[in-house]
């Protein structure tokens, strides 16, 4: 005798049958749990209100964090297996974009670039369940375009550890930005002019990590103290007071009280000596004007941060003749400042030329050598 067949209800009938046996509130809870499971337990956090740490020039606006300069860095701690960010880019001039560096759990730094039409970027995925640390750092600079960190999406954001107490500010040009130092993804003379820029590996952030210090890069490629690489202005004194390190009719002012450095490193002069990029030759640098502008700028910086020590650097891209001339100018700047009673200032001269990167800039290895050469000077100067 054959066993009776089980009735096969249509799916819709079967669903109705389940709903009839499960209380509405319980069914709602089950539905929510299913949705959470399908989404991976994601929660979305407004960046400006999230428990993260931010290092570098930035401002909070309508829940987002706006920034532009090289090396602006975000520190995050989260619980879960992945993390995404809503990262906006203005794509200035329709051809520009930005590169960013991501470090997960102190692993190997990796770069990615922003792309038109894309807002959400996955920075970490398929991790072991548990707590993780993540660093997001801008590799390119402000003239590539402004950015906004709008939101973070992950399992759960945790309170990020405090940033180091020591603080260093690096004021400079393309060398300080890390221009041309990293040709591993895009060889020199390929891609766009900024594809090889990688601020994470510039001498400043390297030194800061060595000394367990925060860093802030106040730097712009092509900029000078008295004149720029191929233009008379705007120079560093013109852009220094802004959040975004650029000159406009209405500069968004930077609140210097938000970052009070222990040490300020100034590395300018390379572009002042430049012959320019135009067809017409330009006059040799007016040394007296350069020294005057440099002296005034150092005085301004000292007035803003009177407790900070100031270290002036020569150019690592110069040969012996230009190196000696710049050293003489810097010595005059220091003498001018000491005449006012300022005893917080000194200088350092690189003994070697570092120009094996793109367009004659230091490459990754040489940025490391620069940091190594500066380390004992800073250690002695600061007592670190």
Two structure tokens written together for 2:
């054959």
Whether residue 133 sits in one domain with residue 183: no
What average pLDDT does the structure give for the chain? Answer: 91
pTM of the model: 0.89
Which domain does 146 fall in, by range? 43-158
Whether residue 213 sits in one domain with residue 127: no
Whether residue 94 sits in one domain with residue 115: yes
- Give the residue among 209, 297, 301 at the shortest CA–CA distance from 254: 301
Confidence at residue 14, expressed as pLDDT on a 0 to 100 scale: 35
Distance between CA atoms of residues 8 and 198, nearest Å:
63
Distance between CA atoms of residues 68 and 348, nearest Å:
29
- Evaluate whether residue 258 is within a structural domain: yes
Whether residue 173 sits in one domain with residue 145: no
C-alpha dihedral sign at 44, 50, 53, 59:
positive
Which tens digits make up the pLDDT trace of 194-204? Answer: 999 999 999 99
Whether residue 175 sits in one domain with residue 90: no
Distance between CA atoms of residues 32 and 18, nearest Å:
17
Confidence at residue 184, expressed as pLDDT on a 0 to 100 scale: 97
**What angle is formed at CA 233 by the lines to CA 227 and CA 239, rounded to 5 degrees?**
105
- Give the residue among 362, 318, 367, 327 at the shortest CA–CA distance from 346: 327
- The CATH number for 92's domain is 2.60.120.260
Number of domains in the chain: 2
pLDDT of 209 over the 80 cut: yes
Distance between CA atoms of residues 307 and 347, nearest Å:
17
Confidence at residue 247, expressed as pLDDT on a 0 to 100 scale: 84
Which tens digits make up the pLDDT trace of 91-147? Answer: 998 789 999 999 999 999 999 999 999 999 999 999 999 999 999 999 999 999 999
Buried b (16+ CB within 10 A) or exposed e, 18-52: eeeeeeeeeeeeeeeeeeeeeeeeeeebbbbebeb
- The CATH number for 254's domain is 3.40.50.1110
For residue 23, name the pLDDT band (cuts at 50, 70, 90): low
Which tens digits make up the pLDDT trace of 136-179? Answer: 999 999 999 999 999 999 999 999 999 999 999 999 999 999 99
Whether residue 177 sits in one domain with residue 153: no
Which tens digits make up the pLDDT trace of 256-302? Answer: 999 999 999 999 999 999 988 776 778 999 999 999 999 999 999 99
Distance between CA atoms of residues 168 and 207, nearest Å:
9
């Amino acid at each position: 005798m054959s066993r009776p067949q089980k009735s096969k209800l249509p799916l819709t009938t079967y669903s109705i049958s389940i709903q009839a046996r499960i209380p509405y509130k319980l069914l709602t809870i089950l539905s929510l749990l299913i949705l959470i499971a399908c989404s991976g337990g994601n929660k979305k956090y407004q960046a400006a209100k999230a428990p993260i740490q931010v290092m570098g020039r930035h401002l909070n606006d309508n829940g987002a964090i706006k920034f532009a300069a090289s090396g602006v860095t975000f520190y995050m701690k989260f619980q879960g297996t992945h993390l995404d960010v809503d990262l906006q880019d203005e794509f200035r001039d329709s051809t520009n974009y930005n590169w960013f560096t991501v470090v997960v759990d102190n692993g190997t730094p990796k770069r990615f670039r922003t792309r038109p039409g894309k807002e959400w970027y996955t920075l970490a995925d398929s991790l072991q369940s548990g707590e993780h640390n993540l660093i997001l750092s801008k590799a390119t600079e402000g003239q590539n375009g402004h950015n906004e960190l709008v939101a973070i999406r992950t399992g759960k954001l945790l309170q990020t550890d405090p940033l180091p107490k020591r603080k260093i500010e690096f004021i400079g040009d393309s060398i300080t930005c890390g221009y041309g130092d990293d040709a591993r993804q895009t060889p020199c003379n390929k891609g766009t002019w900024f594809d090889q820029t990688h601020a994470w590996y510039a001498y400043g952030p390297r030194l800061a990590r060595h000394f367990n210090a925060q860093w802030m890069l106040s730097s712009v490629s092509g900029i000078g103290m008295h004149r720029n690489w191929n233009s008379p202005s705007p120079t560093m004194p013109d852009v220094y007071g802004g959040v975004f390190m650029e000159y406009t009719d209405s500069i968004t002012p930077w609140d210097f009280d938000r970052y009070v450095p222990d040490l300020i490193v100034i590395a300018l002069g390379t572009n002042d000596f430049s012959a320019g990029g135009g067809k017409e030759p330009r006059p040799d640098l007016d040394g007296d004007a350069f020294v005057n502008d440099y002296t005034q700028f150092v005085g301004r910086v000292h007035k803003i941060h009177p407790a900070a020590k100031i270290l002036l650097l020569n150019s690592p891209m110069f040969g012996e003749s230009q190196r000696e001339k710049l050293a003489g100018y810097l010595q005059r700047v220091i003498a001018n400042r000491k005449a006012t009673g300022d005893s917080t200032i000194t200088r350092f001269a690189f003994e070697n030329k570092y120009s094996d990167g793109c367009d004659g800039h230091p490459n990754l290895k040489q940025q490391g050598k620069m940091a190594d050469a500066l380390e004992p000077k800073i250690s002695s100067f600061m007592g670190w």
